[in-house]
Amino acid sequence: MENFILYEEIGRGSNTVVYKGRRKGTINFVAILCTDKCKRPEITNWVRLTHEIKHKNIVTFHEWYETSNHLWLVVELCTGGSLEMVIAQDENLPEDVVREFGVDLITGLHHLHQLGILFCDLSPGKILLEGPGTLKFSNFCLAKVEGENLEEFFALVAAEEGGGDSGENVPKKTQKSRAKGSLTYTAPEILRGADFSITSDLWSLGCLLYEMFSGKPPFFSETFSELVDKIFYEDPLPPIPKDPSLPKASSDFINLLDGLLQKDPQKRLTWAGLLQHSFWKDAFARKDQESSPEDSNVRKVMEHSGTQDSKEFLKPSSGQAKGEKSVKNPTELRPKSTAGGQPNESMFLLSSRPTPRTSTAVGLSPGEDRTQHSPQKTSPSTKNTSEHLSQQDLESQMRELIYMDSDLVVTPIIDNPKIMKQPPIKFDPKLLHLPAHSVDKLVFLKDQDWNDFLQQVCSQIDSTEKSMGASRAKLNLLCYLCVVAGHRDVATRLLNSPLSLFFSIYRRAKVARVIGLLASHTTELQENTPVTEAITILTELIRENFRNSKLKQCLLPTLGELIYLVATQEEKKKNPRECWAVPLASYTVLMRCLREGEERVVNHMAAKIIENVCTTFSAQAQGFITGEIGPVLWYLFKHSTVDSLRITAISALCRITRHSPTAFQNVIEKVGLNSVINSLASAICKVQQYMLTLFTAMLSCGIHLQRLIQEKDFVSTIIRLLDSPSTSIRAKAFLVLLYILIHNHEMLLLSCQARLVMYIERDSRKTTPGKEQQSSNEYLSKCLDLLIHHIVQELPRILGDILNALANVSGRKHPSTIQAKQLKMCLPLMPIVLHLVTSQVFRPQVVTEEFLFSYGTLLVRLMASEEFIKITLSAFEAIIQYPILLKDYCSTVVDYILPPLVSLVQSQNVEWRLFSLRLLSETTSLLVNQEVGDGKKEANVNFDSNLLALIRDVLLPQYEHILTEPDPVPAYALKLLVAMTEHNPTFTRLVEESKLIPLIFEVILEHQENILGNTMQSVIALLNNLVACKDSNMKLLYEQGLVRHVCDLFTETATLCLDVDNKNNNETAAALLFSLLDILHGMLTYTSSVVRLALQAQKSGSGGDTQAAEDLLLLSKPLTDLISLLIPLVRAHLFVRLSDHC
């Protein structure tokens, strides 16, 4: 599982969490299920049934893993959610969609039945949707082979897990509850006790089809008993869609449901009848239902996979038994674990990029899947380094992220309540003098009826009658047209009909409103539609009556909607049309409406028109790009007291800048950069979002670049925006910071000090709360992705600059001015390294072999301030907290990092000496223990020899001085000796040859008053290793007083253990006592061995050295005094065990 990176959580159940994941080194995204081990029977069942199935309507299984606490299942990612979610969101689906979805369901279910697999628990929650809309069967936990007893299989798996030979010790009630699915979709014969069958699956299929169409299952009740009664005795009501506007169910569909929901399984539709049913419109006539060769293999396996040999699925290997076929890939049916067989939860890496750069799932190819049949193992070089991204590619991707969808949202100009509230439009059908067709009827009117309707409308409007009644009738007709103009299809037909009849009476405000509503809702504009004439007339009317504010408020929205309609149509057709050219006077009039002194509503309408039109890439948008547009919109933004107008003004400026960044540049040059930066502190989220977009657009073009990247207040303001609750604002703030860091890496230090790394980690861990925020979360992840990628690539450059600066002054007493300036510029950046290696996002990516080599070189050249050295050592201290990072770089650490650490041990600075010795001790312990744990001792001869030589030649000669220093120096030095003597028994001879044995006993004497201290714990552990080593010179140890020291230590430790009142130190004292018992056991073993040899020699008459044995017995005599302590200890131990048992 090391081959995968986890992204956000995409689902959760009672014992399962589903993550989006990615196979490292590829863009292959998968779904990764993390489930508690209590679900092992269900997950094992899922794997054994699907591990060889490859079908477009079945979620593909890739692989599975086991760690200490969880099972991990890697399957195909389906990005469209579940069928249950679709039904909940849409409430019901049209019959055509039900047919389309039903074809997928039947294709998948028929394939399973051909393989002899029964799904058994078919429900909407177990049907997933792929991006293009393909339905796939998922969650085979309760599926089974036809005729198999699933309860027995579950019991067998549970027994295997518990180490038993059978499932007899597993309660049958538990297994029965495991094998039950959703009652709502269960066939009546199953409720009566029959076994699952093909017909019971078809009943569940009928329930699904019914629910898709009506929005609810055919049988539903809050109580169990009532639901069972309905399933047994009631017929389902005809399916009725919740949306009354949708057509009713067809007779074919009702007939299909009736055949599937027959309570008698003998009368229920069979596969032959289902596939040939007229509802499907011959969808299955040309489908090839033959199984592939792979699926034939699955079928053969399934035919012989009854309960009697289900146990074979759980074994690492299995041969043929009783002539039956075994599984081809038995290792596939055992979950994999980490390399070395050590299950470890930390192997599942949290992604530094919570969402990938694409929302499309990419499935694994069969070839890739087959390569995963062996336990997974990836080198850290693959794990920690991301693909190199050139500066050009990086900036290209950044430019694509400047504007997001929510930056370019378009809302209506006409009847926009945020601009001006309009009274509701009403009409009297009795005064229309023409049929008051509903919108639905108008849409489906035939051409002749439509022409008749238009002729009636035109004749009534063209009427020359001047009476009050005629005027009221015309006004009533216009109100009717306003109502029906809100429908897209009707608006399109009306707008593209002859409008010349309206032009002569444009001075009627209600007519302008009709035209505006038609323009707002139409979807297609014909080239012969006289839109330009309408725009010209409206422009003239506004210009001639410019002081008539009410008339402007009536005409401006229509003018804006017409210009926006032309702009969208031109952008859609990708070629300018001369017939749609907007007169220059229109732009002039709109600019006048923006200026100071106009009414707020007029300002707002003009700004809204510019906002909408400049969303498009069209000639109409270019007409607004002038030298004054930026400052004018900025003035509206700064001086308006209405939030909606301020947002519209800054949004319009943002969209103008998309076409011409100089618009925002003109604003900065007129009002000053500080004033613009201060606007980022606005309390309105939308304003902050647009301001960040403006700065990003300006930085991408290099405008005011040098000034902004040096402005610390600007950087601090941007980082403060990372506290925003808005995902979009945080994403854009990351993007602005990325532009700054690309051009000024010194700002990375300021950003790290302002908690940038913490913000990155927080947003990397965030999950998508719902589909409504999926877009903004994906946008955030893309921005984070690029920022993290840049910082990871920037770290080697920062280290390289520091190394160059130190190399240039190496050996010089007085560096030059340039060298001093370089040092002053580079060395303060060292805290960046510490910030990154202490981050769970950056640490796996930055700690590489190149990094460790540079770090070792840096340690060699340490000659800077104490703060610099402290930060440098702290960075490595952070790295060794995660031994897995160093797993494949042991030789690099030994060759390049440990030697300078050993040199620092000789430093005159006490703090450096202590810090480096502690790092040296802990690193050595990690390296040697890791090697033993991974079983690589024989394969790393060079590593062992280099490490041994370093300690022997450089470090051990200093131990005479080190062990006599005050605590905690001896503790760290002894800890290193403990690790080395455990790892390499030959190191014991080096300890003896270095004459350290007397020093070790001196340490005991000096620290015996604090027997529970770290120093004494280390020295006792070292003595234990020395005594346990077969090659130890025991005679030397006895000569130095081993017996006396052991007796004293044992007496004091035993006293502490037997002290009932002193419970705080009991655990430490007990651990120490066990070590002393091991030492005592080793001494007694050695003594008995020497005495036995002497007695054998004496008995054989070979003249053995009996005197040495007698002397050893005399030396060991004090050990007999410990019996008086051992007996109470035995009693105390038994009492503790009895208490624990009770």
DSSP assignments along 401-432, one per residue: TSS-GGGG----STT-TTT-PPPPP---GGGS
* Catalytic residue selected from 104, 121, 407, 415: 121
Q: Return the closest-CA partner of residue 678 out of 718, 650, 649.
A: 718
Closest CA to 74 of 66, 63, 83, 86: 63
Task: Please give the single-letter amino acid code of residue 286.
Answer: R
Q: DSSP characters for 742-767?
A: HH-TTHHHHHHHTTHHHHHHHHHH--
Cβ atoms within 10 Å of 1083's Cβ, excluding its own: 21
Q: What angle do CA 1034, 1039, 1040 make, to 5 degrees?
A: 100
State yes or no: is 1048 an active-site residue.
no
Distance CA 876, CA 869 (A): 11
Best CA proximity match to 657, nearest among 689, 620, 596, 701: 701
Instruction: With beta carbons less than 8 A apart as the criterion, state whether 1112 and 1087 touch.
Output: yes
Query: At 145, is the secondary structure helix, strand, or coil?
Result: strand
Instruction: Give the span between the Cα atoms of 78 and 569, in whole angstroms.
Output: 36
Pairwise CA distance, residues 1019 & 1004, whole Å: 7
CA 515 to chain centre: 49
Alpha-carbon span 495 to 531, nearest angstrom: 9
Question: Would you list the DSSP string of 268-300?
Answer: S--HHHHHT-GGGTTTTTT---PPPHHHHHHHH
Residue length of the chain:
1142
DSSP characters over 586-636:
HHHHHHHHHSTTS-HHHHHHHHHHHHHHTTS-SHHHHTT--TTHHHHHHHH
Q: Name the token pair of 1072.
A: 């120490």
Query: For 70-82, b where at least 16 C-beta lie within 10 A, e where not — what string?
Result: bbbbbbbbbbbeb
Question: Under 8 Å CB-to-CB from 968, ≥6 apart: which residues?
Answer: 914, 918, 1014, 1015
Question: What residues contact residue 586 under an 8 Å CB cut-off, 6+ apart?
Answer: 535, 536, 539, 559, 563, 623
- Please report where in the chains the tokens 């409008």 appear, as a residue: 499
Q: What is the DSSP string of 327-395?
A: PS-GGGGS-B-SGGG---GGGSEEPSSSS-S-SS--PPPHHHHHGGGSPP---HHHHH-PPP--HHHHH
Query: For residues 194, 200, 206 and 211, what is the CA-based torsion angle, rounded to 10 degrees?
Result: 60
976 closest CA partner among 966, 474, 990: 990
Active-site residue set: 121
